[in-house]
Amino acid sequence: MMTKHDIRNHQASIRKLATPAHLAASIFVAVLLATLPAVAEDRSSRQAAAERYREELAFHVGTLAYVYGYPIVDLTAQMHAQTHAIEQDQQVLAPVNHFSRSEQLVTPSTQAGLRAPNNDTLYFRGWFDLSEGPVVLHTPDTHGRYYMMAVTNFFAEVQHLSRRTMGTQEQEYALVGPGWNGELPKELTPVIVDTQHVWILGRLLVRGLDDLPEAQTLLKGFWSTPLKDWRSGKRGEPPVPPVGERISPHTSLAAFSILDRFLRDNPRRPSEEGLLTQFASVGIGAGKPFEPASLDAATRRGLERAIESGNALVQGSTLSALRSVNGWITLQDAGRFGHDYLLRASVALGGYANLPEESVYPAAVKDEQGRPLMGSRRYRLHFPKDGLPPVNGFWSLSVYDAQTRSLVENTIARYSIGDRTDGLVRGEDGSLTLYLQHEPPAEVMSNWLPTPAGPLMFVIRLYEPAEAVLDESYRLPWIETVGESLK
């Protein structure tokens, strides 16, 4: 079991991944000095030293490989789970290269494994394999309605096709993967992706329950099909998803098998050659399939330790790019990670991220006194006149169970509150106060967001944030504690 001291030491090592050449030099000099005995007096001691060297080499390199490959492994597992029929009444299922759609707003009973989902939009999502050629994406004319498709490669890097970037007219795109050099029809706008597999998570705004039928009709206009099956404005018939079983690769050597396959199937980034050479030294991305059964005992022990070590690093990491302003935590440069692989893994663990110019999701887990937010207390969020979040899209506040990052049932079935909520009451001075508590407030019921009974996490979503949000000249107010529960 790793201690906090061990985790901090490994985190410091991981941060040096920003310079792979430095990594190649420093890690292995340290390993050699630490593991080789000063004097090998006989054959037995030399064999023991060699085994120790192989185990420590596999452990250190494997830990780095685990962190580097975390989003690759995680996205691969999610792709398998959502493109194979794994269980009855599966909420998210579609064959590869086609979208699945959720025609209802997300609630506690329909969140389907999403991490801290929104209650503002209809979701659609798809998993794409570009190894056999481009895939066409079709978007309908949304007539100004907000929509967004987060196109995420398997390095967890994102680009957006959205109202902000492309407008809202009907359009058709072609996802183009690495190595394809064919010619696209002129009607298609190319979207270049640098991994063979890609995930798209789409969102379509719902303005209220009365607007839901119109939004559901528009949702059907988002579709995809392989280029070979496409005719202008028309798609091929989706195949039936295959049957499969759930996989959980994060805690076994299967993680390295997935990373190895990815490294063999995708182009390598020149800046990472030194790092990937070290991975190859323990059989990961070495040009032939990684076979755990063929590993020598020392290397296997080292890699098994690396799985535990790497997982502890990701689970316990502190995101250096996080900023806290008035208790609201934001992630800087979300979706742009460079060589900060620990940050990338930590974001993947939390549910991936959009670019800040598309949406910003400040989160709060403490009140103005620095205490953890709990359902046993009553809170308020007070916006002064002209102090509402400046956005070109819309904003909403949601509350989650802090431990599971999931929505929780409440008596009025309200899971978010924001600028589209009917009946919000402002103060005489034009301010807006939201009441955040488990029991109904004594004040304005229409301004109430019910909270779970236990530990809480609030997320306020700012879609198409204004420049004042991006340059941090606008600051959200503190969540204030106003008393204990009304129970």
Do 157 and 63 share a structural domain? no
Query: Looking at the domain assignment, is residue 242 inside a domain?
Result: no
Percentage of residues of the chain with pLDDT beyond 70: 90
194/202 Cα distance (integer angstroms): 20
pLDDT of 148 over the 80 cut: yes
Task: With cut-offs at 50, 70 and 90, classify the pLDDT of residue 1.
Answer: low
For residue 201, the model assigns a pLDDT of 96
> In terms of residue numbers, what domain contains 124?
99-229
Angle, CA 85 vertex, CA 124 and CA 222 arms, to 5°: 20
Band of pLDDT at residue 29, cut at 50, 70 and 90: very low
pLDDT of residue 5: 52
- Same structural domain for residues 206 and 260? no
Q: 462, 474, 476, 469: which is closest to 146 by C-alpha? A: 462
Regarding whether 405 and 338 lie in a shared domain, the answer is yes
Phi first, then psi: what are they for 423, rounded to 5°?
85, 10
DSSP notation for 120-149: SEEEEEEEEE-TTS-EEEEE---TT--EEE
pLDDT computed for residue 18 by the predictor? 43
Residues 66 and 103 in one domain: no
pLDDT tens per residue across span 296-330: 999 999 999 999 999 999 988 765 557 889 999 98
- Is residue 34 predicted with pLDDT exceeding 90? no
Statement to judge: residues 277 and 344 lie in one domain:
no
> What's the average model confidence in pLDDT over 157-175?
97
Q: How far is the CA of 465 from the CAs of 42, 356, 391, 395, in angstroms?
A: 68, 8, 4, 9
pLDDT digits (tens, 9 = 90+) for 60-95: 999 999 999 999 999 999 999 999 999 988 889 999
Burial 313-351 (b: 16+ CB within 10 A, else e): bbeebeeeeeeeeebbbbbeebbebebbbbbbbbbbbee
Highest mean pLDDT among 4-8, 334-338, 414-418: 414-418
157 band by pLDDT with thresholds 50, 70 and 90: very high
**Closest Cα partner for 337 from 96, 64, 155, 145?**
155
Mean pLDDT within 47-51:
89
194, 229, 264 - which closes a domain: 229
Asked if residue 468 and residue 340 are part of one domain, the reply reads yes
Q: What pLDDT score was predicted for residue 45?
A: 86
Would the pLDDT of 358 be above 60? yes
- Report which of 367, 363, 381, 370 is spatially closest to residue 443, judged by C-alpha positions: 381
Tell me if 86 is assigned to some domain: no
Residue 24 has pLDDT above 60, yes or no: no
Q: Spell out the residues 6+ positions from residue 348 whose beta carbon is closer than 8 angstroms to its own.
A: 70, 71, 74, 75, 156
* Lowest-confidence region among 23-37, 241-255, 270-284: 23-37
- Do 223 and 137 have their domain in common? yes
pLDDT of 353 reads: 87
Same domain, 355 and 443: yes
Query: Could you tell me which residues come within 8 angstroms of residue 437 by beta carbon, excluding any fewer than 6 positions away?
Result: 375, 377, 378, 379, 448, 450, 451, 485, 486
Residue that finishes a domain, picked among 276, 300, 316: 316
Same domain, 433 and 387: yes
The predicted structure's pLDDT at residue 260: 98
The Cβ-side half-sphere exposure at 74, using a 13 Å CA radius, reads: 21
**Are the CB atoms for 340 and 279 separated by under 8 Å?**
no
User: How much is the pLDDT for 319?
Assistant: 57
Shared-domain flag, residues 335 and 437 = yes
CA distance 46 to 74: 40
Rounded Cα distance, 120 and 106, in Å? 8
Instruction: Select the more confidently predicted residue: 101 or 28.
Output: 101
The pLDDT value recorded for residue 17 is 45
CATH number at residue 210: 2.60.40.1610
Mean pLDDT over the full length of the chain? 90
Of 316, 334, 368, the residue at which a domain comes to its end is 316
Same domain, 305 and 434: no
For 26-33, the CB contacts below 8 A with 24+ separation are 27/60, 27/61, 27/64, 27/278, 28/57, 28/278, 31/56, 31/57, 31/60
Instruction: Tell me the pLDDT tens digit for each residue of 169-228.
Output: 999 999 999 999 999 999 999 999 999 999 999 999 999 889 999 999 999 999 999 999
Q: What is the pLDDT of residue 77?
A: 97
What's the pLDDT at 334?
77
CATH number for position 368: 2.60.120.600
What's the number of domains the chain is made of? 3
pLDDT of residue 23: 47
Instruction: Say whether pTM exceeds 0.85.
Output: yes
437 and 304 in a common domain: no
Read off the pLDDT of residues 119-141 as tens digits, 9 standing for 90 and up.
999 999 999 999 999 999 999 99
Q: What is the mean pLDDT of residues 4-22?
A: 49
The answer to whether the beta carbons of residues 414 and 107 sit under 8 Å apart is: no
Q: Is residue 84 part of a domain?
A: no
pLDDT (tens digit, 9 = 90+) per residue, 385-408?
Answer: 999 999 999 999 999 999 888 999
255-273 residue pLDDT tens = 999 999 999 999 999 999 9
Question: 3-class DSSP state for residue 307?
Answer: helix
